[in-house]
Amino acid sequence: MLTLKQLRDNKEDAIRRLKKKGVDAEPIIARIEELDDKRKALQVELDNSLRDQNQAAKQIGALMGKGLKEEAEAMKQAVAELKVRSQQLGKESEVVAEELQAEIVKLPNLPADIVPEGRTAEDNVVVKLVENYTEIPGEALPHWELAKKYDIIDFDLGVKLTGAGFPVYKGKGARLQRALINYFLDCNTSAGYQEVEPPIMVNEASGFGTGQLPDKEGQMYHATADGFYLVPTAEVPVTNIFRDVILEQNELPVKMTAYTPCFRREAGSYGKDVRGLNRLHQFDKVEIVQVAHPDNSYEALDAMVAHVESIVASLGLPYRILRLCGGDMSFTSALTYDFEVYSEAQKRWLEVSSVSNFESFQANRLKLRYRDDNRKTQLAHTLNGSSLALPRIVAALLENNQTEDGIRIPEVLVPYTGFDIIK
């Protein structure tokens, strides 16, 4: 959530930058200023009313001491009227504050200056391309055919048990899932991230804190009886560990990693691009999260991108890194880099990670602060990245490593799988 100071002190800059995300912010900011002015005016009037009440209460005591009962009674009546007015002002102020909050949360985060102009994924900028393609003997089969051929993923059984988008991993397919999760977590902990195992259901406050609510209700599974939401990513519970927390400056950066199953409704998804593992309602993902000092958050972002790249590169897959344009960025992000791996059979790039700096946008919602050198509290910066999302990694591993003898397992995974080929 943007701060009032950001919007009032740098209004023209905010309007300009939000245009990159396709947002006409001028009327919204104008309304925010109007409501903020009204809130301030009501607060001044309320403060004056309370001051007058206090002064009148003192005068009543003095009048009673002098035996001036009629004057004291008149003063009591005036105080009663002031109390009624103060109550009205308090209620009006609450209504205006709620309206002000509702307007502020409509605005997405300001994109960083290096975010490219553009409206769709076609406008994203490729900042690195590694083309280590593998020659496939004969015609490359898509991963859903390979999954059936080697009996490692059963999509039909998932439909029977739950519905489309809930596959069942079997045998070496299940072992490969577990191997990837453990490998990714080990890579992250070796890089200094503390592993946590958070709940996979969160409350509404947690969803609001990281920006999933009220922006993405349609994508989240909601347990309405309890008011809980199934997590769309481990980012939500892990970042919310620091909701309403004040950190010491020397505690920064905080680095955490977690594995969770993730749940997304993906309403309206259809067509060939969602076949097999391309788009699921339930999937596994390992996440990294950082809480950083504002002065160092972009260095932290670069380090996170380099770390995720090292994991992708270790799997031997063709990959590319993109800087997202304004129109393709998330509501909460100030700058995002996507990682995509190449699908040999599908002849297309598959997103496997997003790494983002949210600056103080999430921290403002979370009330996540740190004490600076002067012992004053300041908003921290938050960052997160997928390291990695499993479904499309598995799709690319199956398709790009198929041979006449079976599917070869990348060398780094063999200690985790216990086998080097699926056949």
> Start-end ranges of CATH 1.10.287 in the chain?
4-104
**CA–CA dist 274, 266 (Å, integer):** 10
Q: What share of the chain is helix, strand, coil (3-state, %, to 5)?
A: 45, 20, 35
The pTM score is 0.93
**CA–CA dist 364, 381 (Å, integer):** 9
**CA–CA dist 208, 228 (Å, integer):** 12
**CA–CA dist 13, 308 (Å, integer):** 32
Query: What residues form DSSP beta bridges with 168?
Result: 154
**CA–CA dist 354, 312 (Å, integer):** 12
By the 10 Å C-beta count (0-12 exposed, 13-18 middle, 19+ buried), 240 is classed as buried
- DSSP secondary structure of 170-202: -THHHHHHHHHHHHHHHHHHHTTPEEE---SEE
Nearest to 317 by CA among 356, 294, 343, 285: 343
**Which residues, including other chains, have CB under 8 Å from residue 161's CB and lie 6 or more apart?**
168
**CA–CA dist 157, 202 (Å, integer):** 29
C-alpha distances in Å from residue 384, one per residue of 138, 232, 256, 292: 40, 14, 9, 11
Q: Tokens in use for 209? A: 């804190």
Q: What are phi and psi of 384, to 5 degrees?
A: -155, 165
C-alpha distances in Å from residue 50, one per residue of 3, 40, 97, 120, 164: 29, 15, 19, 54, 61
SS3 state of residue 337: strand
Instruction: Note the pLDDT of residue 73.
Output: 76
**CA–CA dist 136, 373 (Å, integer):** 59
Nearest to 318 by CA among 287, 350, 272: 350
Walk along the chain (423 residues) in steps of 10 and give the mean pLDDT of each run: 95 97 97 97 93 83 74 81 91 96 96 97 97 86 97 98 97 98 98 98 97 84 96 98 98 98 77 83 98 98 98 98 97 98 95 98 98 97 98 97 96 98 97
Q: Please, what is the average pLDDT of the chain?
A: 94
Number of Cβ within 10 Å of residue 184's Cβ equals: 26
How far is CA 135 from its chain centroid? 38
By the 10 Å C-beta count (0-12 exposed, 13-18 middle, 19+ buried), 271 is classed as exposed
Amino acid of residue 164: A
- DSSP secondary structure of 245-260: -EEEGGGPSEEEEEEE
- The tokens 């593992």 sit on which residue? 277
Report the top-level CATH class of 121-422: alpha beta
**CA–CA dist 158, 391 (Å, integer):** 15
Residues 257 and 289 sit within 8 Å (Cβ to Cβ): yes
Amino acid of residue 383: L
Nearest to 245 by CA among 109, 108, 382, 355: 382
Instruction: Note the pLDDT of residue 296.
Output: 97
Q: Which ranges of 349-413 does DSSP label H, i.e. alpha helix?
A: 361-366, 390-400
**CA–CA dist 142, 310 (Å, integer):** 26
User: Which CATH number describes the domain made up of 4-104?
Assistant: 1.10.287
Number of Cβ within 10 Å of residue 270's Cβ equals: 10
> Start-end ranges of CATH 3.30.930.10 in the chain?
121-422
**Which residues, including other chains, have CB under 8 Å from residue 317's CB and lie 6 or more apart?**
132, 341, 342, 393, 396, 397, 400
